[in-house]
Amino acid sequence: MRLAAIFSLCVLISATARAALPDGIDEQAIRHAAAASFPDYFELLSMPSDSIKPEDIQKNAAWLVKAFEKRGFKARELENKGKPLVFASYDGNTGKRPTILFYIHFDGQPVIPSQWSQKDPWSPVVKKRGADGKWTEVDKSELFRPDFDPELRVFARAAADDKGPIAMFLASFDLLREKKRLPAVDVKLLLDSEEESNSAGIPAAIAADPALFKADALVVFDAAEHPSGHPTILFGNRGVTPLTLTVYGPKVPLHSGHYGNYAPNPAQRLARLLAGMKDDDGRVTIPGYYDHTRLTDSDRKIMAEVPDDEAALKKRLGIAEPDKVGASYQEALQYPSLNVRGMAAGGVGDKVATIVPAQAVAEIDLRTTVESDGPYLSGLVKDYIVKQGYFLVDHDPTDEERASHARIAQLKIGKGDEGARQDMDSRIGHWAVKALKTSSDQTPVQLRQMGGTVPTADIVEPLKLPFLLVPTVNADDNQHTYDENLRMGQFLTGMRSMLGLLLTGY
């Protein structure tokens, strides 16, 4: 082990040794439990879990049921149109203490293997970064000992989002059982199989058996910890509504020499339509888009207390200036957004042809808020398109429609998840702050609302639960893109956060 790694390890141990978890569970015990759990973590990561493939989801669900039963849970699959959810309750529950329902998802984003710096995104590898900043693969055995270098990272799809937290949760219960400790709360767990595709099964599962999910509070283990490395509590999340916008041109692709300057080009029309939705500072120009967002002085004070280093953030993102939606990174996340996530018309590269394309398509996601939900925002987008002179259809246009309307488009509004937000001055907030401060010896970073989406509202609304999110993975984990990874020092701090919550009475 290099001297720098040893120094980093010593700093980590000395910083965490001061933070005594309840019942004397110390850093050495956490490290032993983590190292012992890594074979299971690698096995879980090695099972593809893209939710568009039910057979893969079924394998993951069966594995998870056995893994939690091994840790003293009563676990079972919940039917979900071939993509089962997993529900588990701890056998040590008394029925006399407050019950915390924990949520984690086990599906992962789709992969494009050619983009990854490894042979197979579903085959985890361990890497460490050299002095030149480049990552080099090392033998997995470097992790399977308690003195592993916390700067090592595991690269694989779902390594951080969200199988990493599952592995931390399993390791935490391994440690509790080894020390013969019971949680201070009754524990239930919902493992979602479709979080990356809008969690369609959760509302039906809760409606079918609401008593199964009865609890006093909900804790979601998702999202990334604040870059400061302090434990983090999120009191809200934005929702998301996907849109597919298609602009139609000629009935078939046309030779651009014969028909350019005559047949309208749908790619150019789509580009103009999208460009008109935002100004040069990145603000949505559609009337009413931000009207429902109201930030108080208290809200701005909370955001100002978040220890963001925006200069470092811009450097990491590789941008000179951010959009001007909010006065800061935190403030920007409080507003709804409109994001063009993909466009297609004709071909590019070796697939390009000299044509006027027949249609152009844009995939858009609207990040919604509690105040500005999906129907409201998608309605504004629809009105905007119509006001630009477009005739909207819900099918490929007919010859009669083509003859009657100069501009034709289709707007498909997909199933979305709505946002949710919890009062920061609440019982669950006070409990989480106490638990994480006790387990880390650091004051948690508290965020009013994160920018991403989880199906919080699908659980909170029918069950009427207070909630919060506790991220456990590194901020630079590349989730939702290639080379996703988990910093292994984060595995230890994630376990600390989970143990703090489990061993603190609600």
Write down the domain spans for the chain: 3-115+134-237+419-502, 239-293+335-413
Cβ within 8 Å of residue 73, ≥6 positions away: 88, 89, 90, 91, 173, 189
Is the predicted pLDDT of residue 57 greater than 60, yes or no? yes
Q: CA angle, corner 293, sides to 292 and 295, nearest 5?
A: 140
3-class state of residue 241 by DSSP: strand
Q: Output the pLDDT for position 485.
A: 98
Buried b (16+ CB within 10 A) or exposed e, 390-409: bbebeeebeeeebeebebbb
Is the predicted pLDDT of residue 23 greater than 80, yes or no? no
User: Domain 239-293+335-413, what fold?
Assistant: Alpha-Beta Plaits (3.30.70)
Is the predicted pLDDT of residue 115 greater than 70, yes or no? yes
Confidence class of residue 19 from pLDDT cuts 50, 70 and 90?
A: low
Per-residue model confidence as pLDDT tens digits over 78-102: 999 999 999 999 999 999 999 999 9
Beta strands in 171-250 (DSSP E): 186-192, 217-220, 232-234, 236-237, 239-248
Per-residue model confidence as pLDDT tens digits over 458-481: 999 999 999 999 999 999 999 999
Q: Output the pLDDT for position 281.
A: 98
Distance CA 82, CA 69 (A): 22
Distance CA 118, CA 89 (A): 37
Tracing tokens 């079918």 back to the chain, one arrives at 208
Distance CA 123, CA 157 (A): 8
Tracing tokens 């909630």 back to the chain, one arrives at 467
Distance CA 261, CA 451 (A): 43
Distance CA 358, CA 269 (A): 12
Q: Output the pLDDT for position 12.
A: 45
What is the pLDDT averaged over residues 434-440?
96
HSE of 478, CA atoms in CB hemisphere, 13 A: 18
Instruction: Pick one of 3.90.660.10, 3.40.630.10, 3.40.710.10, 1.10.10.10 as the CATH number of 3-115+134-237+419-502.
Output: 3.40.630.10
What is the pLDDT averaged over residues 27-31?
96
Distance CA 100, CA 426 (A): 15
Is the predicted pLDDT of residue 368 greater than 60, yes or no? yes
Q: What percent of the chain has pLDDT over 90?
A: 94
C-alpha distances (whole Å) from 320 to each of 43, 255, 310, 314, 316 are 41, 40, 11, 7, 11
Is the predicted pLDDT of residue 435 greater than 80, yes or no? yes
Distance CA 229, CA 240 (A): 27
Q: Are 157 and 15 in contact (CB under 8 A)?
A: no
Q: Are 101 and 213 in contact (CB under 8 A)?
A: yes
Q: Output the pLDDT for position 21.
A: 83
